[in-house]
Amino acid sequence: KQVGIDVGVADLAILSNGLKYPSFDSSYFEKKAKVWQRKYARRRHLAKLLVLQDRNKKVLCPRSLESFTNWQKAQKSKAKYQAKAANQRRDYLHKLTTHLVKQYDVIAIEDLKTKNLQKNHHLAKSIANASWRMFRQMLEYKCEWYGKKLIAVDPKNTSRICSKCGYNSGAKPLEIREWTCSKCQTKHDRDINAA
């Protein structure tokens, strides 16, 4: 059994047979971590001010930053929520990649350069949250474990070339999600065609 996988932001994996797997939603833990980040920054700032006041007043036993435990508690809470989000994302990717490797014998995936794609500041956070690199690494070593084959495809012109007749229809803006080949009249979904 063969399958092609196209990775995306809204859907993590779009298979060539039309199946879509959504991206991991870490919004709950991200909100919690953001709240604790604010608390941590505020508490640390106040502790620094009190340390400076003690220094300026030339107090006999000036307090150090480590003597304030409130900001340290906030830092631990923030780290806890960030770790939970990371662990759940990793667990989701493990389950998805194991499912794909057990179902298919040959898997083709785009060889994307995520570092270059993250230079777009509007999409950088979404791309980082999707964890394309981790997804690809997991597929690679699990294919070796199970004796399956993983093929990395050059992403150049994957959404331009017709998968049926090979006609290159030229560049298309991002808002065009579906297109029809002018030679063989085959309908293509931009994401599935790439796979």
Pairing status of strand 2-7 against strand 11-15? antiparallel
The answer to whether 111 is a known catalytic residue is no
The answer to whether 30 is a known catalytic residue is no
Catalytic residue among 144, 175, 189, 191: 191
Sequence letter at residue 102: K
> How many other C-beta atoms lie within 10 A of the C-beta of residue 164?
13
Pairing status of strand 106-110 against strand 20-22? unpaired
State the DSSP string of 81-101.
HHHHHHHHHHHHHHHHHHHHH
Catalytic residue among 6, 11, 154, 189: 6
Residue from 137, 138, 116 nearest 127 by CA? 116
131: left (phi over 0), alpha (psi -120 to 50) or beta: left
DSSP, res 64: P
Q: How far apart are CA 81 and CA 30, in angstroms?
A: 7
The answer to whether 191 is a known catalytic residue is yes
Catalytic residue among 54, 110, 154, 189: 110
Catalytic residues: 6, 110, 191
